[in-house]
C-alpha cells in the first residue's frame, strides 16, 4: 500500500532528527511544538483525505510506474485530465485549510524534473532521468512529503553569480566534487512546509551561464542529513499559537503554513541523488517548467483560500446585520468574480497542456503566467473588500482571554454581540477575517500571492516571451490590408 495514514506520517517525522530553530532556540520536539502543528495539520489533511471515498478521485490516482494507488501530490501527470484534477484538488485543499497547505511544490517540481532530466540525458548521455524516476517512485511508494528549494538569498542582486564582489554562498553551489558525490554550501529562502517534510529537492534559482557550473546543481536530500538547519520565518501574530487561551484569537486555530530559511552547511550529496551537475544550459528549463506548473497551481490554491475569504465576509456581514445591504451584496459579487477569474486561468492553463518529450504533461506557459500575474493582484482586492465588509472591529476587538475573564467578560459579551450572534460567534468570524487579511494566513494569501512562484516581473518576462507579438502583428497587418 503506497498510502500512509496521518498517524504513520507523524510517526515517520518523529523518527527524524532535524535541526529546526525558532527565535534563536532549537526546537527539541518538533512534533509537539505549537508553532509547527498547524502546518503539519494541513499536510495530515492530504493523508486523511486520501482515505475518504468522496475525495478519492481528486486526492489519489494510479502510478504509471507501479500501478499502485498513490497520493496525487506525488504524481507525474499523464494527460490534461491529470492537470485539471491537480488544480481542482488544490482548490479543494485551499477551501479545507484556509491556508497554504504546502504539499504542491514536489508535484510541480517532480513534473519539471521528469521532462527536463529526460532532455538532459538525451543531450549529454547522463543518467539523471532514471535517478529522478527512482526517487519519485520512492516518494510515491513511501507517501513522502518533499519540500522544494528554489530561491537563493542572492544578497546584492547586481553582483554576478559566482563573481568576486560578494560571498559565493549567497547562491547554493558545489564546493567540492568527489568520486561518490558532491559537497554543497549555501542556503535557500522561503521553504514552504519544510519543517514537516521528509526530504527536500533543491534546484538552481535561475538560468545559469557557462562558467557557473558549480551553481547549476539539483538534487534531493533527506532533511535530517548532516549540515541542514531550518530557521523558521516570523509571521505576524505567530506567537498567538503559543498562548494558552487563544483559540478564538487565532482565527484559524487548526491550519497554517510555515516557511523556513534553510542552510546547507557543507552537505554531502551522493551521486545517485543528483539530477543536474554542471549542465548550465538546462538550469533555465528546469526553473521555467517548475515555475509554470506552480503558477498554474495558484489558480487552484488561492481560489480555494479566496472561497474561505468570501465565506468569512458573508458571515461577518450576517453577524453585523448588513447582509441585505445592496453595497455588501455587490462587494461579495465582486469578490466572487475576481476569485473565479483566478480559477479560470488555472483551469485553462491545464486544459491547454501539452505532452513533453518524456511523455508527461506540461501546462500552457502563457496562461499559467497570466494566472499567476492575476494572483499578484486579485487576492489583495478580495482582502480589501473583506476588510471593508468586516469593519474596523476585526483589528480592535478584545482577546479571548478578555471574553473569558470573570471580571470583564460580561462587558465583552455585551458590547461585541451581533445580529443573532453572541460575542464568541462574532469574534470567531472577525478573527478569521483578520487571519486571512493580516495574520498568519496572510503570508499564504497575500504576500505569497505576490512573490510565491516568482514575483510579478518574472511573470511579465514570461508573458513577453510567450506573447507572440510578431504573429499578432501579422494578424493585424492581414486585417488592415498591409502588404509584407
Ligand atoms: Fe500549494 Fe499554493 Fe502553498 Fe504553493 S502556495 S504550496 S501551490 S498551497
Ligand atoms: Fe507557494
Write out pLDDT tens, residues 348-361: 999 999 999 999 99
The residue whose CA has the least distance to atom 2 of ligand 1 is: 301
Give the domain 288-475 fold.
Butyryl-CoA Dehydrogenase, subunit A; domain 3 (1.20.140)
Mean pLDDT of 28-38: 96
100 lines ligand 1 (CB under 6 A): yes
If pLDDT is split at 50, 70 and 90, which confidence band does 285 have? Answer: very high
Q: Residue 294 catalytic?
A: yes
**pLDDT given for residue 378 in this prediction:** 98
Report the pLDDT value the prediction gives residue 458, as an integer from 0 to 100: 96
Q: Look at residue 123 and tell me whether its pLDDT is greater than 70.
A: yes
Q: How far is the CA of 102 from the centre of ligand 1 (A)?
A: 5
Residue having the nearest C-alpha atom to atom 6 of ligand 1: 102
Do β-strands 146-149 and 69-71 pair in parallel, antiparallel, or remain unpaired? unpaired
pLDDT tens digits for range 167-189? 999 999 999 999 999 999 999 99
Q: How many CB atoms lie within 10 A of CB 52?
A: 10
Q: What is the pLDDT of residue 146?
A: 98
Catalytic residue among 44, 55, 100, 440: 100
How many whole angstroms separate alpha carbon 468 and alpha carbon 484?
A: 18
Contact 93, 81 (CB under 8 A): no
Confidence check: pLDDT of 62 > 70: yes
pLDDT digits (tens, 9 = 90+) for 102-121: 999 999 999 999 999 999 99
Q: pLDDT tier at 484 (50, 70, 90 boundaries)?
A: confident
Which candidate in 255, 293, 298, 361 is catalytic?
298
Which H or E run contains 260?
strand 260-270
Ligand at shortest distance from the CA of 306: 1
Tell me which of 44, 259, 387, 434 is the catalytic residue.
259
Nearest to 458 by CA among 373, 363, 368: 373
Mutation test of ligand 1: which of 42, 93, 102 has the most ligand atoms closer than 8 Å to its C-beta?
102
- Provide the angle, in degrees to the nearest 10, between the axes of the packed helices 326-351 and 283-320: 160
Residue 118 near residue 158, CB atoms below 8 Å: no
pTM of the model: 0.97
- How far is the centre of ligand 1, averaged over its atoms, from the C-alpha of 19 (Å)? 24
Helix count (H) and strand count (E) of the chain? 18, 14
**pLDDT per position as a tens digit, 259-279:** 999 999 999 999 999 999 999
- Structure-model confidence comparison of residues 8 and 1, the more confident one: 8
- Whether 28 is catalytic: no
Tell me, yes or no, if 445 is annotated catalytic.
no
297 CB less than 6 Å from ligand 1? yes
pLDDT digits (tens, 9 = 90+) for 373-430: 999 999 999 999 999 999 999 999 999 999 999 999 999 999 999 999 999 999 999 9
Active site residue 100: yes
For residues 237-270, one letter each, b for 16 or more C-beta atoms within 10 angstroms of the residue's C-beta and e for the rest, the string is bbebbeeeebebbbbbbbbbbbbbbbbbeebbbe
Coil vs helix vs strand at 345: helix
Nearest CA to ligand 1 atom 3: 100
Active site residue 192: yes
pLDDT digits (tens, 9 = 90+) for 144-155: 999 999 999 999
- Predicted pLDDT at 294: 98
Q: Is 75 a catalytic residue?
A: no
Q: 33 an active-site residue? A: no
* DSSP bridge pairs for 149: 202
Which ligand has the minimum distance to the alpha carbon of residue 453? 2
Instruction: Tell me how far apart the alpha carbons of residues 174 and 185 are, in angstroms, rounded to a whole number.
Output: 6
| Cα→Cα distances 53→3, 5, 69, 241, 304, Å | 14, 14, 13, 32, 21
Taking a 5 Å cut-off on Cβ, the residues next to ion ligand 2 are 452
And the C-alpha cell for 194?
Answer: 519544510
Instruction: Find out whether the beta carbon of 249 lies less than 6 Å from any atom of ligand 1.
Output: no
Q: Which long-range contacts (CB under 8 A, 24 or more apart) does 233-239 make?
A: 233/190, 233/258, 233/259, 233/260, 233/261, 235/439, 235/440, 235/443, 236/438, 236/439, 236/440, 236/442, 236/443, 237/434, 237/435, 237/438, 237/439, 237/440, 238/35, 238/440
What integer is the mean pLDDT of 270-289? 98
Establish whether residue 378 lines the binding site of ligand 1, counting it when its CB lies within 6 angstroms of any ligand atom.
Answer: no
C-alpha cell at 159: 553582483
The pLDDT value recorded for residue 1 is 61
Choose one of 92, 97, 101, 107 to mutate for the ligand 1 pocket test, by most ligand atoms within 8 angstroms of C-beta.
101
For 321-344, write each residue's pLDDT tens digit: 999 999 999 999 999 999 999 999
CA-atom Rg of the chain in angstroms: 23
Q: Is 381 a catalytic residue?
A: no
Q: Which of 301, 319, 356, 361 is catalytic?
A: 301
By alpha-carbon position, which residue is closest to atom 5 of ligand 1?
100
Amino acid at each position: 500500500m503506497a498510502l500512509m495514514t496521518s498517524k504513520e506520517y507523524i510517526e515517520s517525522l518523529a523518527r527524524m532528527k532535524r535541526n529546526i530553530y525558532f527565535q534563536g532556540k532549537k526546537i527539541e520536539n518538533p512534533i509537539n511544538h505549537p508553532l509547527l502543528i498547524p502546518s503539519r495539520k494541513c499536510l495530515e489533511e492530504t493523508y486523511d483525505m486520501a482515505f475518504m471515498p468522496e475525495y478519492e478521485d481528486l486526492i489519489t490516482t494510479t502510478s504509471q510506474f507501479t500501478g499502485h494507488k498513490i497520493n496525487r501530490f506525488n504524481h507525474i501527470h499523464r494527460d490534461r485530465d491529470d492537470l485539471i484534477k491537480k488544480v481542482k484538488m488544490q482548490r479543494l485543499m485551499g477551501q479545507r485549510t484556509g491556508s497554504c497547505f504546502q504539499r504542491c511544490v514536489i508535484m510541480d517540481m517532480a513534473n519539471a524534473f521528469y521532462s527536463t532530466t529526460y532532455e538532459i540525458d538525451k543531450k549529454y548521455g547522463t543518467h539523471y532521468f532514471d535517478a529522478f524516476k527512482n526517487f519519485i517512485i520512492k516518494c510515491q511508494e513511501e507517501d513522502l512529503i518533499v519540500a522544494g528549494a528554489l530561491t537563493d538569498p542572492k544578497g546584492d542582486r547586481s553582483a554576478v553569480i559566482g563573481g568576486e564582489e560578494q560571498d559565493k554562498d549567497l547562491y547554493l553551489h558545489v564546493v567540492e566534487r568527489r568520486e561518490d558525490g558532491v559537497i554543497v554550501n549555501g542556503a535557500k529562502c522561503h521553504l514552504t512546509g519544510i519543517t514537516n517534510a521528509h526530504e527536500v529537492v533543491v534546484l538552481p534559482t535561475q538560468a545559469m551561464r557557462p562558467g557557473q557550473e558549480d551553481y547549476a546543481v539539483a538534487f534531493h536530500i533527506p532533511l535530517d542529513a548532516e549540515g541542514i538547519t531550518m530557521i523558521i520565518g516570523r509571521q505576524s501574530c505567530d506567537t498567538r499559537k503559543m498562548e494558552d487561551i487563544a483559540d478564538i484569537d487565532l482565527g484559524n486555530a487548526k491550519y497554517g503554513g510555515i516557511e523556513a530559511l534553510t542552510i546547507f552547511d557543507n552537505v554531502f550529496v551522493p551521486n545517485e541523488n543528483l539530477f543536474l551537475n554542471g549542465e548550465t544550459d538546462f538550469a533555465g528549463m528546469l526553473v521555467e517548467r517548475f515555475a509554470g506548473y506552480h503558477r498554474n497551481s495558484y489558480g487552484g490554491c488561492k481560489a480555494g483560500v479566496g472561497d474561505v475569504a468570501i465565506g468569512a465576509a458573508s458571515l461577518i456581514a450576517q453577524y453585523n446585520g448588513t447582509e441585505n445591504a445592496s453595497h455588501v451584496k455587490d462587494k461579495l459579487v465582486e469578490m466572487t468574480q475576481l476569485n473565479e477569474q483566478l480559477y479560470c486561468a488555472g483551469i485553462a492553463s491545464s486544459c491547454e497542456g501539452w505532452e513533453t518529450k518524456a511523455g508527461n504533461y506540461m501546462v500552457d506557459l502563457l496562461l499559467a503566467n497570466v494566472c499567476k500575474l492575476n494572483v499578484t493582484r486579485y487576492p489583495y482586492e478580495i482582502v480589501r473588500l473583506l476588510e471593508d465588509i468586516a469593519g474596523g472591529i476585526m483589528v480592535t476587538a478584545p482577546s479571548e482571554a478578555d471574553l473569558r475573564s470573570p471580571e470583564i467578560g460580561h462587558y465583552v459579551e455585551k458590547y461585541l454581540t451581533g445580529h443573532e450572534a453572541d460575542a464568541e460567534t462574532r469574534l470567531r468570524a472577525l478573527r478569521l477575517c483578520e487571519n486571512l487579511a493580516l495574520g498568519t494566513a496572510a503570508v499564504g494569501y497575500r504576500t505569497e500571492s505576490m512573490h510565491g512562484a516568482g514575483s510579478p516581473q518574472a511573470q511579465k518576462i514570461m508573458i513577453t516571451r510567450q506573447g507572440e507579438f510578431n504573429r499578432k502583428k501579422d494578424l493585424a497587418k492581414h486585417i488592415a490590408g498591409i502588404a509584407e
